[in-house]
Amino acid sequence: MTGIRNIVILTGAGVSAESSVATFRGPGGLWEGHRVEDVCTPRALARDPELVHRFYDERRAKLTSVEPNAAHRALARLDREWPGELLLVTQNVDDLHERAGSRRLVHMHGELKSALCAACGNRTAWEDSLPPETECPDCGTPALRPDIVFFGEMPYQMERIERALAEADLFVSIGTSGAVYPAAGFVQTARYHGAETLELNLDPSEGSAWFGESRLGPAGELVPAWVGSLGI
C-alpha cells in the first residue's frame, strides 16, 4: 500500500463481537431479544419509553463487563503512530475504541455513555441508568433520552466524515454488514475520490463487491495483521 497518507476506517458491530458485545444481525435476527424496530426508532421511543430506556440501560451496564479486543488495540496503536491523517468512524455505541486508546474517533450512531436532551439538543456524559423524563442538566426539561441515533435520524458529524472520505487514500471497512446507510455508502464515496478500498469481515457483506479487496476472518486476527502490514 505505497503512497498511502490519509486513512478512513469504518467499524461495525463485528469489531466488538470478540469482546462479547452482541452484533445486530446475528442468528435469529433479534438484537438481544428485541426486533431492532422495537427499540431503535423514534416511534418505539414514543410508544414505549420504558422499554427503550431500559434496553439501553442494560447495554450501558454491560460495558463494565467487556474489554477491548486485539482489533481495538491494533486500531488504537495505528491511531497513535500513523503520521498521516486518520479518522476512525464507528457505527458502534460501545466505548471499546476509546478504552483501547483511539482518539481520532467519531461515533456516528451515538454512544451508550451519553444522554441527549430532546428539548435543547445538548449531550451529557452518562454512566448510570437513564429513566424516562430525567431532567436535562443544561435546560432543566425532563427530556433526556439515550444518545443513540435511531433509524430515520441524522447520524453525527456527517460533514466531517464526507470531507475525510474525499481526502482518503485508503478506506477500510471492518466488521459491518453494509446493511445500513449512510455508512454502507462510504466505500462508494471513497472509490469515487480515488481511494483504495479494503474490507475485513467475518462474512462477505452486502457491499463486498464495491471493495478492491475483501479479507474474510475474525477482526481479532485480520486487523492486527493489516496494521502490522503498514509497518505499525
* x/- track of binding to ligand APR for residues 115-154 (CB under 6 A): ----------------------------------------
13 contributes a contact to ligand APR by CB under 6 A:
yes
| 19 binds ligand APR per the rule CB under 6 A | no
The reply on whether position 110 binds ligand APR by CB under 6 A is no
Q: Is 109 a catalytic residue?
A: yes
Q: Is 94 in the site for ligand APR (CB under 6 A)?
A: no
Q: Which three cell numbers stand for residue 216?
A: 474474510
CA angle 104, 158, 51 (to 5 degrees): 95
Candidate list 17, 86, 89, 112; residue touching ligand APR; CB under 6 A: 17
Core vs surface per residue 209-225: b (16+ CB within 10 A) or e:
ebbeebeeebbbebbbe
- For residue 145, the cross-strand partners are 116
Identity of the residue, 126 or 186, whose beta carbon is nearer to ligand APR in the bound complex: 186
Give the cell for residue 61.
Answer: 451496564
- DSSP labels, 154-189: PPTTHHHHHHHHHH-SEEEEES--S-STTGGGHHHH
**Active-site residue (options: 72, 97, 107, 109):** 109
Residue 153 CB contacts under 8 Å (≥ 6 apart), including other chains: 42
114 binds ligand APR (CB under 6 A): no
Grid cell in block for residue 121:
439538543
Under the criterion CB under 6 A, does residue 109 sit at the interface with ligand APR?
A: yes
Q: Smallest gap, in angstroms, from Cβ of residue 139 to ligand APR?
A: 27
Q: List binders of ligand APR among 20-39 (CB under 6 A).
A: 23-25, 36
Radius of gyration of the chain, Cα coordinates, nearest whole angstrom = 18
Residue 201 CB, nearest approach to ligand APR (Å)? 5
Q: How far apart are CA 37 and CA 113, in angstroms?
A: 21
Residue closest to ligand APR when measured from CB atoms: 14
- Is 69 a residue that touches ligand APR (CB under 6 A)? no
Cell of 41: 426508532
> H/E element holding 17?
none
Residues classed as catalytic: 109
Binding site for ligand APR (CB under 6 A): 12-14, 17-18, 23-25, 36, 91, 109, 175-177, 179-180, 201-203, 205, 218-219
